[in-house]
Amino acid sequence: MRMPSRPYVLAEATWPLVAQGRYEVAVLPWGATEAHNRHLPYATDSLQSERVAIDSAAFAWRAGAKVIVLPTVPFGVQTGQADIPFCLNMNPSSQAALLGDIARSLDRHGVGKLVVLNGHGGNDFRQMIRELQPACAMLLSQVNWYACVDARPFFSEPGDHAGELETSVLLRIAPDLVRPLAEAGPGTARPARVRGFREGWAWTPRRWTQVTDDTGVGDPRASSAEKGERFLAAVSEQIGTFLIELASVKDGDLYAAHS
């Protein structure tokens, strides 16, 4: 049987290959479908999550970790973008149902751990995992890929949405989908009037069209494919190392003994 070039990507694997494999960790990339300023595609979050998942799994696979990347979920929580055309919303309750179905399916097939690799700020799987975990033999976890490495050494102003970080990553992984940066809006965000929201210790969902005129938050003009490549390499190594460690942990042995 000829081995596919990326045997750790489920979408590219065949049944005989998967049937004979024993996977310790499954990675579920989860993105969104939403506007990203005037220059990035609606699939930005999904494209990034999938690429980071595959690159991280490749890093772990080369070290011998049995990791498999599941197909990407392209729909995220968009309740604050309801008035922006085709920002397709999946409510947290729907996400919880989908995650539960996937987790139970993997559980039946003996996968030891599931990592939700999140690429959209509106998604938060922690409470879903808290609810699912007691009834699931498999270890469940979440990683926000964009937050696992300090972005400040890589970018002059990373931005929050369609800014320098995301634009640089897309210039690296899908340059044909990026419009000329001259067409991008400045990504200027209006600060909240309430101090707690402004300082970040209080929270409410943002009404996106009240925050920004171009759907972006962060100036993308200093973006480059080279910056995106360096950041992706650091992120993939960080998450890849996490996957290696996670794959090696045995059932019930997640925590070190007291010294």
| pLDDT recorded at residue 36 | 98
| pLDDT recorded at residue 2 | 65
pTM of the model: 0.96
Question: Distance from first CA to last CA of the chain, Å, rounded?
Answer: 48
Mean pLDDT of successive 10-residue stretches along the chain, which has 259 residues: 83 93 95 98 98 98 97 97 96 98 95 97 98 95 98 97 98 98 98 97 96 98 98 98 96 81
| pLDDT recorded at residue 1 | 52
Where do the domains of the chain lie, and which CATH numbers do they carry?
Answer: 14-244 (3.40.50.10310)
Residue pair 242/143 in contact by the 8 Å Cβ criterion? yes
Identity of the amino acid at 74: P
| pLDDT recorded at residue 102 | 98
Residue pair 30/52 in contact by the 8 Å Cβ criterion? no
DSSP state of 186: -
| pLDDT recorded at residue 258 | 76
Question: What's the helix, strand, coil split of the chain in %, to 5?
Answer: 40, 10, 45
